[in-house]
């Protein structure tokens, strides 16, 4: 129930719609106003109740959910009137109201997030921490990415980035606590690149628009997996971060997780000491580095992805164990890797690559 605020002087009454994916439900508010800014929207989720207030001039438009009945597929939305007056209607239906449309047809929705911190991780890769506006609840599903948007010489540019945790060793926060305020990214700065130098120039406190999540990974792929093999090259490591931690904590069938991490040099290895600490703490997890341009001191594995490296690395814990292979890195790396995996008789269902 909403307050009918369609008066001759006041704004047209907003309306709302909602849609869902496997893990997310989105409520969309059509304000019918051009000049609504993010600071006009207030969202809180406390003590099981959800409250969204949109401020339009002198009016408030409220959505207030007090109960979500899980497992029955039923969601009750209770809206609190701002004034105790009787309503003639719920709202004026707008385009696509009350219809189920493909998710891809909704387009990307952005909200401005604030840069909270930026830390060096390697010589060219940094950990960025962005804070969601207080008005937003957004949880990026494991294995998915978002788009960041910047205006560069008058043109809006968007690029995809995969959220990570602030550390491999910090406590697993999702999906137990859905209301994370912060989103972390590991981003490599390319001095000759278009987007990342601009991103690097942002000051603490500046804002960056962040889109809704997208991606083709489904958590169900991890169901009953016994051996998880992660093939990552460079920043292709980013989707592995959450998958790795999720698997170690939430997949009871899991016997082994192996990360084969391809980099140019030792200095390029992201979170090396954390990876080693995790491997020490959890005997199911192993990491192996392969360098394509090592120094002469490097005693470990060398070269690019190859049949020899893969067949040595991909030994199952048992002959018939359920396997998932995740691969991510520069396009030629991923393409070559997938071909090699097929040659090694891994099926399409056993291989996941991350696409935009």
| Interacting residue ranges for ligand NAD, rule: CB under 6 A | 145, 162, 188, 233-236, 238-239, 262-264, 268, 292, 304-305, 328-330, 332-333, 336, 354-355
How far apart (Å, rounded) are the C-alpha atoms in residues 239 and 305? 19
Judged by CB under 6 A, does residue 186 bind ligand FAD? Answer: yes
210, 205, 209, 211: which is closest to 116 by C-alpha? 205
Query: Closest separation between CB of residue 239 and ligand NAD, Å?
Result: 5
φ, ψ of residue 182 to 5 degrees: the values are: -110, 145
Query: Closest separation between CB of residue 198 and ligand FAD, Å?
Result: 8
Stretch that binds ligand FAD, among 17-25, 91-99, 193-201, 277-285 (CB under 6 A): 193-201
Residue 330 binding target from ligand NAD, ligand FAD, none, CB below 5 to 8 Å by type: ligand NAD
Cis peptide before 175 (omega within 30 of 0): yes
Q: Give residue number: closest CB to ligand NAD.
A: 234
Q: How many CB atoms lie within 10 A of CB 191?
A: 8
Chain positions 262 to 321 lying near ligand FAD, rule: CB under 6 A, are none
Residue 144 binding target from ligand FAD, ligand NAD, none, CB below 5 to 8 Å by type: none
Judged by CB under 6 A, does residue 332 bind ligand FAD? Answer: no
Q: Which residue among 130, 133, 140, 145 contacts ligand FAD (CB under 6 A)?
A: 145
Distances (CA, A) of 83 to 30, 49, 61: 20, 20, 11
Q: Both tokens of residue 52?
A: 């969204």
Q: Which residue among 54, 238, 334, 353 contacts ligand FAD (CB under 6 A)?
A: 238
Output DSSP code: residue 167: -
282, 300, 281: which is closest to 291 by C-alpha? 300
How far apart (Å, rounded) are the C-alpha atoms in residues 239 and 222? 14
Q: Which residues bind ligand FAD (CB under 6 A)?
A: 145, 159-162, 185-188, 190, 192-196, 235, 238, 354, 356
């Amino acid at each position: 129930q909403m307050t009918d605020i369609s008066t001759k002087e006041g704004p047209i009454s907003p309306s709302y719609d909602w849609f869902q994916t496997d893990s997310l439900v989105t409520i969309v508010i059509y304000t019918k106003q051009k000049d609504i800014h993010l600071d006009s929207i207030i969202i809180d989720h406390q003590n099981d109740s959800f409250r969204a207030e949109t401020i339009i001039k002198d009016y408030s438009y409220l959505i207030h959910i007090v109960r979500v009945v899980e497992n029955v597929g039923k969601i009750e939305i209770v809206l609190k009137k701002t004034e105790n007056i009787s309503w003639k209607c719920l709202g004026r239906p707008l385009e696509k109201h009350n219809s189920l449309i493909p998710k891809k047809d909704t387009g990307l929705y952005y909200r401005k997030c604030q840069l909270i911190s930026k830390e060096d991780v390697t010589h060219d890769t940094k950990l960025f921490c962005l804070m969601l506006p207080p008005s937003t609840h957004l949880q990026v599903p494991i294995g998915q990415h978002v788009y960041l948007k910047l205006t560069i010489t008058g043109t809006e540019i968007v690029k995809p980035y995969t959220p990570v945790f602030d550390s491999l060793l910090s406590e697993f926060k999702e999906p137990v606590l859905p209301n994370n305020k912060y989103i972390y990214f590991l981003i490599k700065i390319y001095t000759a690149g278009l987007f990342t130098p601009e991103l690097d120039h942002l000051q603490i406190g500046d804002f960056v628009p962040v889109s809704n999540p997208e991606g083709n990974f489904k958590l169900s792929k991890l169901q009953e997996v016994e051996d998880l093999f992660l093939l990552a090259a460079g920043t292709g490591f980013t989707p592995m971060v959450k998958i790795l931690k999720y698997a170690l904590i939430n997949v009871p069938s899991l016997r082994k997780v192996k990360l084969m991490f391809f980099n140019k040099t030792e200095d390029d290895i992201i979170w090396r000491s954390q990876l080693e600490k995790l491997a020490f703490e959890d005997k199911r997890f192993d990491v192996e580095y392969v360098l394509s341009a090592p120094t002469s001191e490097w005693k470990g594995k060398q070269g690019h992805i190859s049949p020899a490296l893969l067949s040595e690395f991909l030994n199952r814990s048992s002959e018939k164990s359920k396997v998932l292979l995740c691969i991510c890195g520069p396009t030629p790396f991923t393409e070559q890797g997938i071909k090699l995996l097929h040659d090694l008789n891994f099926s399409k269902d056993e291989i996941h690559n991350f696409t935009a």
